[in-house]
A and B are shown apart, each in its own frame.
Chain A
Amino acid sequence: MIVSRVATSTSERLQATFTRPVRLAVGGAGSLLVVAGCLLPWATFFFGFPGKVTLAGFPGGSRLYPLLLVAVAPLLLVAVEGRRRAGLAAAWGVFGITAFNIAAIGFGRDLPLGLLEERGGGGLGAVAIGAWLALAGGALLIAAFASLPSSDEERPFRPGLPAALELLTIALSLGLILFAVVIALEVDETSRFISLIAFATAAGMTLARLNVFAYVTELFDRHRTVTLAAAAIAAVVFPFTQGGNAYWIRVFASIGVFAAAAIGLNVVVGLAGLLDLGYIAFFGVGAYVGALFAGAARTTVHVKLPFLVVVVMGAVIAAIFGVIIGAPTLRLRGDYLAIVTLGFGEIFRILAFNFDWLTRGPNGISGVPDLAIGSYNFGATNEVLGFSLPGFANYYFVELILLAAIILAFTRLNDSRIGRAWIAIREDETAAAAMGINTYRLKMLAFGIGAFMAGAAGTVNAHVTTQVSPDSYGFLESILLLAAVVLGGMGTIGGALLGSAALFIVPEKLRSFQDKRLLLFGIALIVIIRFRPEGIVANRRRKAELHDADPSTGDASGAPPGAPVVGAVAQ
């Protein structure tokens, strides 16, 4: 309260004292300082801090990120009026990245919780002039943008390009996303990765506040076929770019399986509004079915069935479990449902632990063999068109087909009589029933379909990980899946994909964070829910629901919105 009052009065004072020339001068000086600071060394002597930060004249290491952010700042200050919020995001990004790097260079390993386990820690004496200049420049930029009038009207970003250029924009945007992913994958050092995330956040917020995202999303929507085709091509081409190295192909295959399950959860949570905290159990059922009927080395069922049969079987058995669990629980609403599903999830894990005769208990089923179609072995390295494809690429493609099928199913269901009924139930179950919807049956259907998708993903996962054990299907995994859906954006495909990717890549990158993974996700969830409750990829409905800035729900007639409640009977 007090803090915000001080902040308001500071920015008010800035707005009063900074006339346009002063603001331009301060902002210009800030930009120059940042540019100069990023070209000068950030550390006084070399002690292994990543990114050649002792060199002058080129922006190595994390120095590149403030430089990129500051590139848009003068433009926002001069050319585009009323862009206070966008400019502030960029300026705070510059300041934050620089401040973090000063801390990392100065104190490195001594940071609390051992968050940075790489070199660093020369004390503040190790921090060179460049970093201080960039920090000062960032502060000046913040002041300059804060002094802009805060009456920031929303202006849609609509360049009105000809169709050909629109398609080019789509291609460029997709290319940029891919490029960003590749860059992110190549950054190995913790401190640089954190700087990169900070940069991505600041740049993303700047673009979002300029409504660029809204425009690009709209373009994607309008040219859906082109976008989808381009995305599909990119996904198919990806394994060929890895030069025979299976590592990232493996990671992306895991992401794909996780995302397929997340989309299934999206049917249950995002569409029908049923909070299911035990969802991973269905994924587990699929995984066990997949492992048991694959002819694994250490198993209890010595039957090997064709892969496609097993996928369908796993999905159907998971769906049956879904209906069995749903039948008694779906009469409950809201919090009660969440608690009961949580209990059922635990029951699954404990059963898997104890039914030794079927699941081999804590040992699990392991040694799931490679798939083979005829003489074609999925585990072997292949030469395709002169490119060497690691064996794992085959599973990557299997996962891609599964994901495509699940995405198609989700989109079609979402926009159908069934999807509308689910959304109606989420919005107001009583009214939905009064409109002739059999709410119980439809909720059961959502549960069953969600479980079906998770089961299919689970069977594929058994082959991706080659082993299945009860520990992989606990409460934590359910929560992670839910976090992926919420982080990415409920009820959207892009959200589930992005959320799953984030939850996989970030721990992969921040090895020193491994033990603190949950802490990190907890913080990320809090930040997202505070600042962007609809998730990174927003669903139109969610956005309307959560940003209730438009009070026009009230009335145009002069009647109070909560019209006189008369004649109410004891209910």
Chain B
Amino acid sequence: MSVSASSAPTAATPPVLEARGVTKVFGGLTAVDGVDLEVGEREIVGLIGPNGAGKTTFFNCLTGMETPTSGRISYRGRTLSGKPHRVTESGLARTFQNIRLFPNMTALENVLVGRHCRTSQGVLSALGRGPRYRREEADGRARAHELLQFVGMDRHAETLARNLPYGDQRRLEIARALATDPGLLLLDEPTAGMNPQETASAMQLVRRIREQGLAIVVIEHDMRFIFSLCDRVAVLVQGQKLVEGTATEVQQDPRVVEAYLGKPVDGG
């Protein structure tokens, strides 16, 4: 199966995501301060930083849930409009730091909601139930089952999302995001609250998603997860991008150590 029908990268194609000088000011607080980020085809980019660094706000700006105070965001060369549903239509999909499934819908229905923007049957065809409606509905269900299988939870298709175990809820959120046929997936702390085995399988899942041709940006606090998975890592501190580079570069950068652990005492 294929998760996305994105074409192979060529030298001429613009980057999947290009954010230039994204700034978000809340009252007197600058939560995100002129952040640039570029994501290429099939790239996994990690976004790390201490609590309150502005990572989630940056995600919210990318997905249209917050309107950036200034800056420009474009996806495959096209500037994104502000509305969340338009951004999702363009090809960005996200998961949430604190899981936001539709708790009283089944796993399958959750994924079907993700298909909404890729389907078009309206009120009249829902009332008429013509062949085209039935075909689209059947296709949608088949695709949703496929995605549930992809994240390894097809047997829970008919379970209400609220009754799923925690790890499955995280995976269902990813399946739901994949159902929107994205070219770029934004994962906000996909392994928060997971045990080591679950984290390992989440890592596997992220790799498999990339193999399907998607680019991924991931916020995470689990450093082993970030450094063994990401092609590039950006460090956000107090709203500004402090460092960006490969895992090794970032790990050895004294400024990163300082941001996380504090400045060494003189002579110490």
Interface string of A544-555 (1 = CB under 8 A from B): 110000101111
* Contact of B88 with A436 in the complex, beta carbons under 8 Å: yes
* Contact of A552 with B105 in the complex, beta carbons under 8 Å: no
Cβ contact of A424, chosen from B49, B60, B96, B102, cutoff 8 A: B102
* Contact of A567 with B85 in the complex, beta carbons under 8 Å: no
Whether B192 is near chain A, meaning CB under 8 Å from some CB there, is: yes
Tell me how far the C-beta of A239 lies from the nearest C-beta in chain B, rounded to whole angstroms. 29
* Contact of A556 with B166 in the complex, beta carbons under 8 Å: yes
Cβ contact of A449, chosen from B29, B123, B167, cutoff 8 A: B123
Docked CA distance A488–B193 (Å): 40
Tell me the residues in window 401-456 of chain A with beta carbons closer than 8 Å to chain B beta carbons: 408-409, 412-413, 416-421, 423-424, 427-428, 430-439, 445, 449
Whether A560 is near chain B, meaning CB under 8 Å from some CB there, is: yes
Docked CA distance A515–B188 (Å): 58
Docked CA distance A564–B119 (Å): 36
Tell me how far the C-beta of A282 lies from the nearest C-beta in chain B, rounded to whole angstroms. 17
Tell me how far the C-beta of A430 lies from the nearest C-beta in chain B, rounded to whole angstroms. 7
Whether A566 is near chain B, meaning CB under 8 Å from some CB there, is: yes
* Contact of A567 with B97 in the complex, beta carbons under 8 Å: yes
Residues of A within 8 A of B57 (CB): 569-571
* Contact of B189 with A566 in the complex, beta carbons under 8 Å: yes
Instruction: Categorize the interface residue count of chain B.
Output: 35 or more
* Contact of A544 with B123 in the complex, beta carbons under 8 Å: no
Whether B51 is near chain A, meaning CB under 8 Å from some CB there, is: yes
Cβ contact of B105, chosen from A409, A424, A438, A560, cutoff 8 A: A424
* Contact of A553 with B65 in the complex, beta carbons under 8 Å: no
Residues of A within 8 A of B113 (CB): 420-421, 424, 432, 435, 437
Whether A222 is near chain B, meaning CB under 8 Å from some CB there, is: no
Cβ contact of A417, chosen from B60, B103, B116, B127, cutoff 8 A: B116
* Contact of A569 with B31 in the complex, beta carbons under 8 Å: yes
| Contacts A544-B104, A552-B165 given; does A567 touch B51 at CB 8 Å | yes
Residues of A within 8 A of B98 (CB): 562-563, 565
| Contacts A545-B104, A570-B52 given; does A435 touch B193 at CB 8 Å | no
Interface string of A446-474 (1 = CB under 8 A from B): 00010000000000000000000000000
Cβ contact of B85, chosen from A439, A449, A571, cutoff 8 A: A439
Whether B213 is near chain A, meaning CB under 8 Å from some CB there, is: no
Whether A159 is near chain B, meaning CB under 8 Å from some CB there, is: no
Which of B50, B65, B126 has the most chain A CB atoms inside 10 A of its CB?
Answer: B126
Task: Find the A residue at minimum CB distance from B50.
Answer: A567
Tell me the residues in window 165-199 of chain B with beta carbons closer than 8 Å to chain A beta carbons: 165-167, 176-177, 179-180, 189, 192-195, 198
Residues of A within 8 A of B68 (CB): none
Whether A182 is near chain B, meaning CB under 8 Å from some CB there, is: no
Residues of A within 8 A of B219 (CB): 567
Whether B43 is near chain A, meaning CB under 8 Å from some CB there, is: no
Docked CA distance A457–B164 (Å): 41
Task: Find the A residue at minimum CB distance from B55.
Answer: A567
| Contacts A417-B137, A568-B52 given; does A445 touch B221 at CB 8 Å | no
Residues of A within 8 A of B52 (CB): 567-570
| Contacts A418-B122, A436-B180, A556-B167 given; does A568 touch B116 at CB 8 Å | no
Docked CA distance A449–B122 (Å): 12
Residues of B within 8 A of A417 (CB): 112, 115-116, 119, 121, 126, 136-137, 140
Docked CA distance A555–B219 (Å): 22
Docked CA distance A430–B56 (Å): 15
Whether B46 is near chain A, meaning CB under 8 Å from some CB there, is: no
Whether A557 is near chain B, meaning CB under 8 Å from some CB there, is: yes
Whether A161 is near chain B, meaning CB under 8 Å from some CB there, is: no
Whether A331 is near chain B, meaning CB under 8 Å from some CB there, is: no
Interface string of A187-226 (1 = CB under 8 A from B): 0000000000000000000000000000000000000000
Residues of B within 8 A of A558 (CB): 195
Tell me the residues in window 68-90 of chain B with beta carbons closer than 8 Å to chain A beta carbons: 83-85, 88-89
Task: Find the B residue at minimum CB distance from A436.
Answer: B117
Residues of B within 8 A of A542 (CB): 104
* Contact of B100 with A419 in the complex, beta carbons under 8 Å: no
* Contact of B53 with A564 in the complex, beta carbons under 8 Å: no
| Contacts A434-B88, A436-B180, A560-B193 given; does A423 touch B119 at CB 8 Å | no
* Contact of B167 with A430 in the complex, beta carbons under 8 Å: no
Docked CA distance A563–B57 (Å): 19
Docked CA distance A438–B81 (Å): 13
18 A-B residue pairs with CB within 8 Å: A417-B126, A418-B122, A423-B105, A424-B105, A427-B104, A428-B101, A428-B103, A430-B65, A432-B113, A435-B113, A552-B163, A563-B192, A567-B50, A568-B52, A569-B31, A570-B26, A570-B52, A571-B60
B interface vs A, CB < 8 Å?
Answer: 26, 29, 31, 49-57, 60, 63, 65, 83-85, 88-89, 93-94, 96-98, 100-105, 109, 112-119, 121-123, 126-127, 129, 133, 136-137, 140, 160, 162-167, 176-177, 179-180, 189, 192-195, 198, 219, 221
Q: A416-B126, A423-B105, A449-B123 are in contact. List 9 more A-B contacts (CB 8 A).
A: A409-B127, A416-B121, A434-B63, A437-B117, A553-B103, A566-B221, A569-B52, A569-B57, A570-B57
